[in-house]
A and B are shown apart, each in its own frame.
Chain A
Amino acid sequence: MAALNEEQSLLKDQASAWVREQSPVVKFREMRDSGVEQAFAPTIWPTMVEMGWTGILVPEQYGGSDLGYLTFGIVLEELGRQLVASPLFASALVGASGLLLGGSDPQKKQYLPAIVDGSEILTLAVDEGPRHAPARTALQAKKTGGGYALSGAKAFVPEGMAATTFVVSARTSGAAGETAGITLFLVPAKAKGLSRRRLNTFDSRGYANLELANVEVEASAVLGTIDNGFALLDGILDRARAGLSAEMLGTAAQAFDMTLSYLKTRVQFGKVIGSFQALGHRAAMLFTSMELARSCAEGALQALDAKADNAAELCSLSKSKVGDFLHEMSNQLIQIHGGIGMTDEFDAGFYLKRARALEALYGNQAFHRDRYARLLGF
């Protein structure tokens, strides 16, 4: 764990206690079994707002606490430990980052206080196919008299059913695959011509597919500048990737703790199984990977807070290395628990399923290895 200041330590303790006492993974199970359409418990959102988590990135003038990305990561790591389902990440990290990086003063005034008080839930609608490919944006934005008309589709939008406003990437010129010609728009979920459909995914979280049929927005809905939206989108995505990595680290760390505790208690052949060297070494290697992954996750968040030139590299490093560890850890969680790990009654399956969903979101390990190599010039 990075050396934390007093504010961060307090927040970590608060988040950790709340997650353990108020929102352990059994709450996630209840939510899954209830089949609630928005895919998070209705009481969770007001509680998070009350605790101030929605304002961690937001400057004080807009009602937030302006504590930065590492601090947000500390909370997300704790949430990841118990698979807490909420729109906190999508709205207060990804959405807020969009406004902080690209928003005009009136846009900030309109959205940031509403993100903080929870009345608005923002989410990013970027991908249009099954694989993360932000430059492949094809959704069309055509200039109209007073604004733009958007037509096209977006796929696998996180918290897509709960969102009140979408940050939509659209093409104002050029062709799918080109980075030039992309523009971001703030589109209200209730806009005429916008429809959404829930996807039933194995991680039981709230994704939606969006259809935009000639959705009209005013020129003031443009986030950032026309045709040059890719750099802004990349910046938002990097913040999202660093935040996701923190959540993934929490999920993996909990899987590690569950596994370690099982190694110390499960008896076979008259001994606790952790006394077998094959398993002791596996645990040692997983622990080593976890320590390395933590350094990447914290390094990326710190680079964002420091506005470092190499932040993009570190965000790809983080998503990839934490992703690799989570992948392996979630498999070992099942393997080392044996038969019990296969049962729905036990929680291991939730961690495995969430792991793969998190790995894929905003670029899997292969995507980020490729991106890292390109950033390094090969």
Chain B
Amino acid sequence: MSESDPLSEFRTDVRTWLNENFPPSLKNKSLGIEGGAEGLGPDLEVWRERLARRGWGAPTWPKEYGGAGLGPHEARVIGDEMGRVGAFNPIPMLAGMGVTMVGPTVLEYGTEDQKRRHLPGIASGAVRWCLGLSEPNAGSDLASLTTKAEDKGDHFVINGQKTWTSGADISHWCGALARTDPKLAKHDGISFVLLPMDQPGVRTRPIKLIAGASPFCETYFDNAIAEKGNLLGKLNDGWNVVKRLLQHERQSQTGGRGPGGERPAKLEDLAKQYVGTNDDGTLADADLRTRLVSHLMDARAHNLTISRITAEAKGKVSVSAAASILKNSATHVAQTRSELTLELMGAQGLAWEGNEFTRQELTTVREWLFGKAMSIYGGSFEVQNNIISKNILGLPETTQKG
């Protein structure tokens, strides 16, 4: 907590480097919810380039693959120091699903050739990745997918439809699950392939959501081609590869903050501003005050749990079984925060568009709506509870398999 900092020297180096390299024009800015770079200007590219050269886009990855070879504590220091000066790391957003999910899985399952070929582009934010996992009839029951990959000697030919492929319309590469042996059982006979999006056999269509425009797409594979050299993991072992990938996904969804990139204002201050206070300084709406304090306690408990689990793992980056707990807890905290923010804003919280509403009001509404997806994607709230009851608590199989 307040003991002396063994990383103080490293921290000083990070500070100095940020002072010299972070473009002031980007201070307190961030990429939009959908990764949009509107209004950030040419400095964004300068900043990305500098970070990439330093290996800080994915600081814990090995240097030979574009990372900086740092430990999780150092990586945290970089994050803390960036936060302190209002800087942000655009690379994980620019790489789409690359830094958080594809990269860690390639590190684990990829051949040396695949690592050298794909990881540096992700770590520099130059290559954006999407994931072709869910299908219209394979959501929570992902293993029932029907997209096929046929073996044509040196390549696979892929046919089928994917949905919820986040950023597919702007991605360069896709990691996709496809059935390579229809005769095997549901969870067997699936393989994980990597394929370029810029080819005649791939078509995408954006999906509009309740929050308006969204990063999600439907993706159609119509005789799309994936080279044999881009099979990740063994043939027909794609289910094990994707299970690991989804653990990385849960791990990346444990932060407890909404999908937006901005540092949120203190909710209690916002509440006082909109709702007012009694003479003794307590919030004027007693019912809201109780629910607000419960929420703030939940958020604190969540953050303490992340710290505790990190400390228990003694700094190892482990994709622990706790990921399901943290994902559900993070979702609960973020969704409740949105609901409370909307409620305390009163009628101003109805904001959709226009000058009558503040930017904060408009953002709150979009985040509230978009945030409903948090308990659905990456394994729904219910699927996480299945995982907890079966894998952590050892309770018998329920009605579902998988």
Report A's interface with B, CB cutoff 8 A: 1-3, 260, 263-264, 271-272, 274-277, 280-281, 283-285, 287-288, 291-296, 298-299, 302-303, 306, 308, 317, 320-321, 369-370, 372-374, 376-378
Contacts and interface: CB of A to CB of B under 8 A. Distances in A.
A303 B1 CA distance: 8
A292 B302 contact: yes
Contacts of A287: 325, 388, 392-393
Contact of B305 (A280, A295, A369): A295
B287 interface: no
Interface in B353-402: 382, 384-386, 388-390, 392-399
Nearest to A320: B297
A134 to B, nearest CB: 18
B271 interface: yes
Most buried by A among B293, B388, B392, B399: B293
Minimum-distance CB pairs A-B, first 9: A280-B389, A284-B388, A295-B304, A284-B385, A295-B305, A275-B396, A274-B395, A292-B301, A373-B293
A276 B394 CA distance: 13
Contacts of A3: 311-312, 314
A83 to B, nearest CB: 24
A28 to B, nearest CB: 27
A49 B298 CA distance: 38
Contact of B398 (A276, A291, A374): A276
B257 interface: no
11 contacts: A2-B311, A3-B311, A3-B314, A280-B390, A284-B386, A285-B385, A288-B325, A291-B322, A321-B297, A372-B293, A378-B281
Given A292-B305, A376-B296, A306 B390 contact: no
B294 interface: yes
A283 B395 contact: yes
A292 B305 CA distance: 6
Contacts of A281: 382, 385-386, 389
Interface in B279-318: 281-283, 289-290, 292-294, 296-298, 300-302, 304-305, 307-308, 311-312, 314
B305 A374 contact: no
Query: Do most interface residues of chain B lie in helix, strand or loop, or is the interface mixed?
Result: helix
A182 B54 CA distance: 60
Contacts of B305: 291-292, 294-295
A5 B290 CA distance: 38
A277 B308 contact: no
Contacts of A2: 308, 311-312
A197 to B, nearest CB: 36
B272 interface: yes
A283 B393 contact: yes
B268 interface: yes
B301 A369 contact: no
Given A264-B396, A378-B277, 10 more contacts: A280-B385, A280-B389, A284-B389, A291-B305, A292-B302, A293-B301, A295-B304, A296-B300, A317-B300, A376-B268
A293 B325 CA distance: 13
Interface string B139-172: 0000000000000000000000000000000000
B304 A280 contact: no
B259 to A, nearest CB: 22
A317 B301 CA distance: 8
Nearest to B313: A3
B290 A298 contact: no
B328 interface: yes
A280 B293 contact: no
